[in-house]
Structure 1
Amino acid sequence: MTAIEFSNVIQRVAQSLRPVAFNLTRDTDDAKDLVQETVLKALMNREKFKTGTNLKAWLYTIMRNTFINNYNKITKRSSNIDSSEYLQYLNTDENYITQNKGTATFVMNDINKAIAGLSEEHRTPFMMYYIGFKYTEIAEKLQIPIGTVKNRIHIARKELKQTLKVYKQDA
């Protein structure tokens, strides 16, 4: 199929794309733009079309992918965080900004004390899980059933939650 024949066929089929484009965009002007962009992409990628296959389906695929890509671009653009409230800190001298790490130190001391207060049979699997071991790895290393590992970790969490309930934030 020559380029002119291909262009003519595309123009005829493009009319049937408009209702689908409108369903996607829900706006007449956006639907026309989507069809136009689809036709342009089809003409630019003529060599990728295999003669004898369904041209209409190929165009629908191009249109759907174009719509999805445009939608993703729009949502990324509109989901930027408004950082204007932080602009006041941009030109401040860093020597005047200090951080109080005392609270974090107290919290970590309480957490470490609570973990140390766990029985050895609960603390060991809990700490292994905490540092990244999977249940099956813990069961193999400690030579205990996986159900026992899960139970001991559950009990450790429950005891820690009870011990550290002063830090619970009301949601």
Structure 2
Amino acid sequence: MTAVEFNYNLQHLIPALEPFAYKLTKDSANAKDLIQETMLKAFSNKEKFMVGTNMKAWVFTIMRNTFLTNYQKSARQKTFIDTSENLHFINSTSIKQENSAYGNFAMNDIQKAIAELDDAYSEPFMMYFRGFKYHEISDRLSIPIGTVKNRIFLARKELKEVLSMYAN
């Protein structure tokens, strides 16, 4: 294939590449940049194209690989790695002051709401909260697993209504 034929075939693939580039980038300006970069790579690597193979598939593969490489580069650039020796200051609580009054009010309201639940609902709910599995609660309370799930659901629903003031 001559260079003129290669360039001609490459130019006619641009309309087919546009939707794929937009699908990858979700932005028309970035899609145009990706197409331009793909065309540049395809043109500069035309000697690697084997005559008789599918040129469209070859160019689409170049585009996909270019997009993935650029995406990985941008992800690496956004990653912050602190190499200083002061790592102990990152999560230090010695400088942080906290007002726990709001948390105390919320916790008191939660405990009060759970205490006001019917025992049939609060017992399975608290067991689930402590980490028991549904089948373990079912075995310990000698009730069907469906009943356990229902009671936990109803307890959550009632607690959500009672504690709606803490939703945000």
TM-score range, shorter chain: 0.5 to 0.7
Q: Describe the SS at the equivalent of 1:98.
A: coil
Q: Describe the SS at the equivalent of 2:13.
A: helix
Amino acid at match of 2:40: Q
Q: How many residues align?
A: 144
Q: In the aligned structure 2, how far is the partner of 1:19 from the partner of 1:162?
A: 55
**Structure 2 residue aligned with 1:157:** 156
**Structure 2 residue aligned with 1:99:** 98
**Structure 1 residue aligned with 2:84:** none
Note the residue ranges of structure 1 that are not aligned, 5 or more in a row: 79-93
**Structure 2 residue aligned with 1:33:** 37
* 1:57–1:135 distance in 2 versus 1, CA, 3 Å: farther
Q: In the aligned structure 2, how far is the partner of 1:16 from the partner of 1:137?
A: 65
Task: State the shift of 1:113 in Å.
Answer: 2.5
Amino acid at match of 1:116: A
TM-score, normalised to structure 2, is: 0.56
Q: In the aligned structure 2, how far is the partner of 1:53 from the partner of 1:98?
A: 67
For 1:51-95, what per-residue CA distance to the aligned partner results, in whole angstroms no more than 9, with x for missing partners?
9764531331331343365468679989xxxxxxxxxxxxxxx86
The answer to whether the 8 Å contact 1:114/1:160 transfers is yes
Amino acid at match of 2:38: L
Query: Percent of aligned positions with the same letter in both sequences?
Result: 43
How big is the alpha-carbon RMSD for the aligned residues of Structure 1 and Structure 2? Answer: 4.3
Task: State the shift of 1:156 in Å.
Answer: 1.0
**Structure 2 residue aligned with 1:60:** 60
For 1:20-55, what per-residue CA distance to the aligned partner results, in whole angstroms no more than 9, with x for missing partners?
333425459623223223555x679x5xx9997645
Q: In the aligned structure 1, how far is the partner of 2:50 from the partner of 2:136?
A: 52
Aligned partner (choices 17, 20, 23) of residue 21 of structure 1: 17
Amino acid at match of 2:59: L
* 1:109–1:50 distance in 2 versus 1, CA, 3 Å: farther
Task: State the shift of 1:124 in Å.
Answer: 2.6
The answer to whether the 8 Å contact 2:38/2:62 transfers is no
Q: In the aligned structure 2, how far is the partner of 1:32 from the partner of 1:110?
A: 60
Note the residue ranges of structure 2 that are not aligned, 5 or more in a row: 23-27, 79-93
